[in-house]
Amino acid sequence: MPRVDGFLYSINFGYIASSLAIICAAMFFLGHRHKIIYLVGFIAASLAMLFSGTRGALIAYLITSFIISAFNLRKGNIKVVVIFSLIITLCLYALYGFNKSFSSRINNTISKVEAILNQDKGFTSVNARFEIWKSVLYMTKDNLWLGTGYNERAQKLQELIKQGKISKDIPFGKGHRNHGHNEVMEALVSKGLFGVLALLAFYWAFLRLFFKKAVGKKSETQYIAAVCGFLFVLQFILCGLTEAPLLRNAISAFFIVTVSFFIASLADKPIFSPD
């Protein structure tokens, strides 16, 4: 069965679907209306993410879901958390048991990690990322503050391969997604430390804004918008551990529009209401 992609690259689709699932989950717990709609939205977005086969999105999804569950356990919503956890478990179990594409990707990931731990020299998509990250560290030694241009980057990569410092199988070139497969690593190699600081400031500004608004809430609408906004940004940060989603126009546009919606909902007289 092919990976679903929603007319996008399947990995990008997986990130968008996982983010929508997290928003629906937060609204299901925090909102007072339309809970059935948010529950259906959560299940649908979760299945879309799982069918995309995007493992990085799945990891981020599970971490953020755990945070949501822990928060609600603290509030005493034990019954709702149990139902929420059962839905996630049943979706994963059903997909693993009945979808060969999903189960094969999970099994492949486990075998690849085991191969790396056993120092197997075979080249996989998992240790490809380690090779890419290692190449980034080599490249930034001479251009630490400003980074390396794209053409110069390709040239340096070939030099590193000839020197035997990284694997010759590293996927960089025509037909490949030529980036650092990590948001921070990509900023470091292309824009240097200035780029890393800018990226961290970008995310920190949104996290700080939403956190402050959630703690000092003036209304239920502001609180819901702040929590959803915080979780949404956190989900993107976690997705950026194994990919560089903000490099893609569709993803970055989705991020800005969604964050803008939550910020607009934080006003004393909100233009939009998430609940």
Q: Over the stretch 95-137, which tens digit does the pLDDT of each residue have?
A: 777 777 777 777 777 776 666 666 665 556 677 788 888 888 9
pLDDT band at 261 (very low <50, low <70, confident <90, very high): very high
pLDDT-above-70 percentage for the chain = 88
Give CA–CA dist 15/48, Å, rounded: 10
∠ Cα 159 162 167 (to 5°) = 100
pLDDT for 211: 92
Predicted confidence (pLDDT) per residue in 47-95, tens digit: 899 888 888 898 899 999 888 888 877 677 777 778 778 878 887 777 7
pLDDT band at 233 (very low <50, low <70, confident <90, very high): very high
pLDDT exceeds 70 at position 260: yes
Residues 6+ apart with CB under 8 A from 143: 192
Predicted confidence (pLDDT) per residue in 31-40, tens digit: 878 889 998 9
Tokens 């890393």 — which residue?
196
Give CA–CA dist 49/41, Å, rounded: 12
∠ Cα 109 127 144 (to 5°) = 135
pLDDT for 175: 41
Predicted confidence (pLDDT) per residue in 181-197, tens digit: 899 999 999 999 999 99
Nearest to 244 by CA among 124, 150, 133, 109: 133
pLDDT for 231: 95
Give CA–CA dist 275/273, Å, rounded: 5
pLDDT for 225: 92
Give CA–CA dist 211/234, Å, rounded: 11
Tokens 């190449």 — which residue?
135
pLDDT for 174: 43
pLDDT band at 237 (very low <50, low <70, confident <90, very high): very high
How does the average pLDDT of the chain come out, rounded?
84
